[in-house]
Amino acid sequence: MMRAFSDTLWRRPRLTIALLLAPPLIWLGVVYLGALAALLAQSFFSIDHFTGQVNRDLTLATYAELLRASNLDIILRTVTMAALVTLASAVIAFPIAWYAARHARGRWKALFYLGVMMPLWSSYLVKVYSWKLILAREGILTWGAEKLHLAWALNGWLALPVVGGNSLSVSATGTFVVFVYVWLPYMILPVQAALERVPPSMLEASGDLGAKPFQTLRHVLLPLAMPGVVAGSIFTFSLTLGDYIIPGIIGSSRRFIGQAVYEQQGVAGNTPLAAAFAMVPILIMAAYLWAAKKQGAFNAL
């Protein structure tokens, strides 16, 4: 019986693939895409503000509400934060990934993986609360700045509008720092994988043809690493767009999309508006990927 079964699989490779893919495809189709469709549908409903009941007639009223100044503010703030976090992660990740891909061997490579992955082993909440202590007015950063006689710089920065606040832990700067810290491994790993696939001879060829190291970086290495950077930025960008815990613990009282979704569907009970908010990151990511493809980010794949 088993033998006949495995012989059949051997003769019909397509059947094998179909059997292997069916469970994940069903899961993806029903649970993920289904939920997404339900979400999309919700966003076209509206809420009766007197009764608090969801009105199941299709309308664009919820989207109109989304475009109110205070809500647009939330969207703009979240997108700006996600873009800055992504940019900073890419800039910090690149040299680390480069070192790991090109220079680290044996034990150093193991150390690199350990260093990148270890923060992922501990709870995200523990890390965020640790940062709350680090960034607090009584925390090590303020202390260090004082010892280095740089307190004026820190206070100057905190006095700035938008990015500043009473202390780093209640400023947008703090939110930014923690976002970068928490999502950095998701940028390093794909960039490292992309850099590892670039043959050393490619860089030598560039130098051989007269390119100085910086020109090689710009004309050869960055284009070839782009698929990795884009893959990493999908993580950092979308994770920042959707997160509601970090800005809730660290940062000013100005809200982000994730917090808005949380409040609208929980406290306020306005599921349609929450759904409309949730559509924003999805649309932004779709536009981002489309633009990246247009720019040729995946040409080297």
Partner 1 sequence: MSAVSFDGVSRHFGPVRAVDAVSLDIAEGEFFAMLGPSGSGKTTCLRLIAGFERPSAGVIRLFGAAVQDQPPYRRPVNTVFQDYALFPHLNVRDNVAYGLMIAGQNRADRHRAADEALEMVRLSGYGARKPSALSGGQRQRVALARALVMKPRVLLLDEPLGALDLKLREQMQDELKTLQRQLGITFIFVTHDQGEALSMADRVAVFNEGRILQTGTPETVYFRPDVPFVADFVGSSNILPAPLVARLTGTHAAAALRPEALRIADAGPLRATVTALSFLGTATRVVLEAEGTRLTALLAKGAPRPAPGDTVALAWDAGDLHLMAGA
Residues near partner 1 (CB under 8 A): 199, 201-202, 204-212, 215, 219-220, 223-224, 296, 299-300
User: Smallest gap, in angstroms, from Cβ of residue 301 to partner 1?
Assistant: 9
Closest Cα partner for 241 from 263, 258, 266?
258
Residues ≥6 apart with Cβ < 8 Å to 292: 230, 298
* Residue (67 or 202) nearer to partner 1, CB: 202
User: Smallest gap, in angstroms, from Cβ of residue 205 to partner 1?
Assistant: 4
At 220 the three-state DSSP class reads: helix
Closest Cα partner for 186 from 93, 102, 111?
93
**Do the beta carbons of residue 186 and residue 90 sit within 8 Å?**
no
Per-residue buried b or exposed e for 213-233, using 16+ beta carbons within 10 Å of the residue's own CB: eeebbeebbeebbbbbbbbbb
User: Smallest gap, in angstroms, from Cβ of residue 295 to partner 1?
Assistant: 12
Cα dihedral value 67, 234, 289, 291, nearest 10? 80
* Residue (48 or 208) nearer to partner 1, CB: 208
The phi and psi torsions of 280 (rounded to 5 degrees) equal -60, -55
User: Smallest gap, in angstroms, from Cβ of residue 299 to partner 1?
Assistant: 5
User: Smallest gap, in angstroms, from Cβ of residue 206 to partner 1?
Assistant: 7
User: Smallest gap, in angstroms, from Cβ of residue 200 to partner 1?
Assistant: 9
* Residue (57 or 208) nearer to partner 1, CB: 208
User: Smallest gap, in angstroms, from Cβ of residue 163 to partner 1?
Assistant: 37
* Residue (220 or 279) nearer to partner 1, CB: 220
* Residue (151 or 211) nearer to partner 1, CB: 211
* Residue (220 or 260) nearer to partner 1, CB: 220
CA R_g for the chain: 24
Question: Which whole-number Å values give the CA distances from 118 to 96, 113, 135, 217, 259, in the listed order?
Answer: 15, 8, 21, 29, 28
* Residue (29 or 207) nearer to partner 1, CB: 207
| DSSP 8-state code for residue 53 | P
User: Smallest gap, in angstroms, from Cβ of residue 225 to partner 1?
Assistant: 11
Side-chain half-sphere CA neighbours of 294 within 13 A: 6
* Residue (170 or 231) nearer to partner 1, CB: 231
d(CA 300, CA 125): 38
d(CA 219, CA 223): 7
| DSSP 8-state code for residue 158 | H
